[in-house]
Amino acid sequence: MGSLSKDDRAEVIQAWYMDDSDEDQRLPHHRNPKEFVSFEKLDELGVLSWKLDADKYETDPELKKIREARGYSYMDFCEVCPEKLPNYDEKIKSFYEEHLHTDEEIRYCVAGSGYFDVRDHDESWIRIWVKKGAMIVLPAGIYHRFTLDSNNYIKAMRLFVGDPVWTPFNRPHDHLPARQEYVETFVKKAGADQAVDAAA
């Protein structure tokens, strides 16, 4: 995945460019041929990730360290499956609407699996598959969406700085300060870096 040394995150997180098919959103939607995305590329988009031990999340010193360093004071759990989520069909549709948040979206998959789709700098969709043990942080202002995979189940820890605000702003919301800051920090920076590389 872009690096010769093995990254243990690859055991619980994979990312790839999506095709344009409108088939079932829970399918992998690989391009043909498959185009995998490196953790370095996700970093460039502001997407952070860790592999943690989901069997000991209650006492895990690594999770505690991340929470303290990033100020994640709030924590709860969300189970997404037909049996556990009220208004399941409606909720799954709303999760899959392209949207942004004005704060980070932090999810730690403690059971099951699912897909977070994010836009790259060229507006292409990148699908990020998270499995048990994966923790992911989507930056404020990034356009994204979520869906289950064909296993139809995920249990995720939701973390937040302070009191949680889960408000989604469906695209377009480019006028929001969180979006403008994201574009300044990640999109324009990437464009400037590419221009420098091209001139070299």
Binding-site annotation: residue ranges for Ni(2+): 99, 101, 105, 144
Which helix (H) or strand (E) segment is 100 a member of?
strand 99-100
Question: Rounded CA gap, 133 and 54, in Å?
Answer: 5
Contact 100, 178 (CB under 8 A): yes
Question: Rounded CA gap, 74 and 3, in Å?
Answer: 34
Q: For residue 14, what are its two tokens?
A: 């994979």
Contact 129, 37 (CB under 8 A): no
Question: Rounded CA gap, 47 and 105, in Å?
Answer: 10
Binding positions: 99, 101, 105, 144
Contacts of 177 (CB under 8 A, 6+ apart): 102
In this structure, which amino acid lies at residue 166? W
Question: Rounded CA gap, 65 and 72, in Å?
Answer: 10
Binding positions for Fe(2+): 99, 101, 105, 144
